[in-house]
Amino acid sequence: MRQRWIECLILLCAMANVHAAPDPEGLELASVNAAVAPLEGDTTWYSKHPERSVPIASITKLMTALVVLESGEPMDEWLEVYERHREAPNNAYSRIRIGSELQRRNMLRLALMSSENLAAYTLARHHPGGFEAFVAAMNEQARALGMDQSHFVEPTGLSPRNRASADDLVALVRAIWQHPELRELTATGYYTARFREPRYNLRYGNTNVLVHRGRWDVKLTKTGYLSEAGRCLVMVSMMQGEPVITVLLDSFGTRTPIGDAGRVRRWLKTGQGGAIADAARRYEKQRNREYQQVSRSDAAPES
């Protein structure tokens, strides 16, 4: 009996070691705010300003997706694309024609895999209670998930007032993972949307280039960009045989999040992620100063 107990203990220790991450000192990322975590459990392997609330651009659409799915509204329902009832906070160009229709599921697919802003807006307009009720549901969902550093003002991510922390987004990804349909919609490589009233087709591609690379196994993903937010990437991908959450916020270059994702994968395999460019370090110092200034401004008492 004692021998069997010892064997079980050894097995449990071995299983635990499979999921042990390397020393965080071996990983340097160019993204200003970041988190790396196993999908399962509630631990984080690596973090960088994990509780800092920052603009998240189109990463917002992950919360939009969760609210849409959990509303229980029919995913096959055809939704009409409306004119905006208020001006968009940033450039909101879209190829979708006002008045045309697409099913809710595929409208959500476009919002997630290709970051189509008018599609995300349309989903909110068709929510029970309308646009304002949808935004309220986004913030209610954030509170329910313990996303204490998050706040949403609209569903697309065009507003820099949509904010969250890296830790918050880890929690959001774990919640979204519970919905296989959302995983599939985010990771769609290419899709042709077939609209009606009038009938026309539009071809879309996933904004995360790693989805199109065979050596990456991306299970869930969303990209984002605003000048106030920098380049952002959130995804779940298979690394060392395990689904890993990577949250990368505020990168200074188009390719920086992709480089950081590669560093994370290398770090999990070898214990060393590799070097980052001096330009990225300068950008990070500048952005950290700006965040500190904003924090001091927010904390200053009103005169």
| Stated length of the chain | 303
From the candidates 58, 150, 165, 251, which is the catalytic residue? Answer: 58
222 is in an annotated binding site: yes
Whether 287 maps to a domain, the answer reads no
pLDDT for 89 beyond 90: no
152: containing domain:
22-277
CA–CA distance from 266 to each of 19, 22, 169, 242, 261 (Å)? 15, 10, 22, 14, 9
Binned at pLDDT 50, 70 and 90, residue 21 comes out as: confident
Q: How many Å apart are CA 220 and CA 182, to the nearest integer?
A: 8
Q: How many Å apart are CA 63 and CA 139, to the nearest integer?
A: 9
Q: How many Å apart are CA 140 and CA 136, to the nearest integer?
A: 6
pLDDT tens digits for 184-236? 999 999 999 999 999 999 999 999 999 999 899 999 999 999 999 999 999 99
| Domains of the chain: total | 1
Whether 7 maps to a domain, the answer reads no
Whether 155 maps to a domain, the answer reads yes
Q: What residues have CB less than 8 Å from 57, skipping those under 6 apart?
A: 157, 160, 162, 224, 225, 226, 228, 229, 232
Whether 194 maps to a domain, the answer reads yes
Assess whether 58 carries a catalytic annotation: yes
Q: What is the CATH number of the domain that holds 272?
A: 3.40.710.10
From the candidates 100, 115, 237, 251, which is the catalytic residue? Answer: 115
Whether 293 maps to a domain, the answer reads no
Average pLDDT over residues 154-164: 97
pLDDT for 9 beyond 60: no
* Residues pairing with 164 in the sheet: 54
Whether 230 maps to a domain, the answer reads yes
Determine the distance from the C-alpha atom of residue 122 to the mean position of all C-alpha atoms in its chain, rounded to a whole number: 20
31: nearest Cα among 210, 260, 208, 229: 260
Whether 207 maps to a domain, the answer reads yes
Whether 17 maps to a domain, the answer reads no
Neighbours of 243 (CB within 10 A): 15
Binned at pLDDT 50, 70 and 90, residue 88 comes out as: confident
Q: How many Å apart are CA 170 and CA 50, to the nearest integer?
A: 10
**With contact defined as beta carbons under 8 Å apart, do 102 and 116 qualify?**
no
From the candidates 48, 61, 114, 150, which is the catalytic residue? Answer: 61
